[in-house]
Structure formats: structure tokens, C-alpha cells
Amino acid sequence: MAEIINRDQLSKGDEILLGDTAVLTRLDKAIGWARKFSIFPYPFATACCAMEYMALSMTPYDIDRFGALLPRFTPRQADLLMVIGTVTVRQGPILRRVYEQMAEPKWVMAFGACASTGGFYDNYATLPGIDRIVPVDVYVPGCPPRPESVLDALMALQRKIQGQKQKLMALDEKHQTA
């Protein structure tokens, strides 16, 4: 979070330089705040929950307020994998490949009862939860989940993203500028 500095701690030159408009914070906190509001989802939609996912972009819900409106249809441009609906055992390796193609940092949302636990399908062909294939960060309950539940899960993911320690990349010696 932003740190507040008293005017007593500043020298006269610093006070003139900063004025009343400066906010000081740590770089990793600023990166966490920026990532929180710039989520690019990749919808892995396989079943009826996809209709509820489509409702998220409509006026009453407006997922754009959370910085997650524009879905990416290539995993290399996405950082949130939204597994929406039933995943069969045969689709498991495909889901794993999509997850591995995503760049770091990446997060996964299990959307609905089928993605979370296999739902009411109790047979050999249905994967009993995607957490057996990829690590899941947020589960959205319901069959199908209401858009409000998805927004609650998205806000929980945003809190998790902002609270994570953000990795800062150091430049190697030959790429540093003087």
C-alpha cells in the first residue's frame, strides 16, 4: 500500500520537488495493483456454464469493471484460465497443454460444479474435478453458477493477486544502462 511521509521527514528541496501530488509505494505493490485490474481470461468452455459466462459481459454484471472483459482465445496471451463446464478424461491432456502454454504468472478458475467436482456426472468419462490436472486458485460454486458468484470469485482472485509477492526481474550486467 502507499506509504505516507510526514512533511517533517522531508528536506526543503524534497518538499518542493514532491509538492502535494506524490504518492510513494513499493514497486511490487504497484505491480500487484496493476495485475489485479488487468486480468486476461482464457475461457475453456465445454458445457452449459458457458451461457452464464456470456451473461457476465451484459449490462447488469459488467465484468469490465474488474478489468477482465476481454477474453483471449490463445493461452499465450492469457493469464487466467477459466475452465467452464464439464471436462472429460479425454480432454484432460488438452487442458493441461493449454495451462502449460500460458505465461507466468497464471491463475485458474474452476467455473461450476462440473469443473470443480465432476458435478452430477458419476461415470468413467467425466473428470472428477480439474484440480487433478491443473492447480486451481478459485472455485465458483453452482450448477450453473450465477453471474454474481463468478464476480465474487473474481474479486477473491483479485485479492489473491494483489496479496502475492510480485517477482521483479533484474537485468543482467550487459543489459543495464549507465
| Buried/exposed code over 147-157 (b: 16+ C-beta within 10 A; e: otherwise) | bebbbebbeeb
Confidence of residue 73 (pLDDT cuts 50, 70, 90): confident
Q: Is residue 74's pLDDT more than 70? A: yes
Q: Is residue 106's pLDDT more than 80? A: yes
Q: Is residue 79's pLDDT more than 80? A: yes
Residue identified by cell 482464457 is 42
Confidence of residue 156 (pLDDT cuts 50, 70, 90): very high
Q: Is residue 18's pLDDT more than 80? A: no
**What is the per-residue pLDDT across 51-67, written as a single tens digit (0 to 9) for each?**
878 777 777 777 776 66
Average pLDDT, the chain: 79
Phi, psi of 27 (to 5 degrees): -65, -40
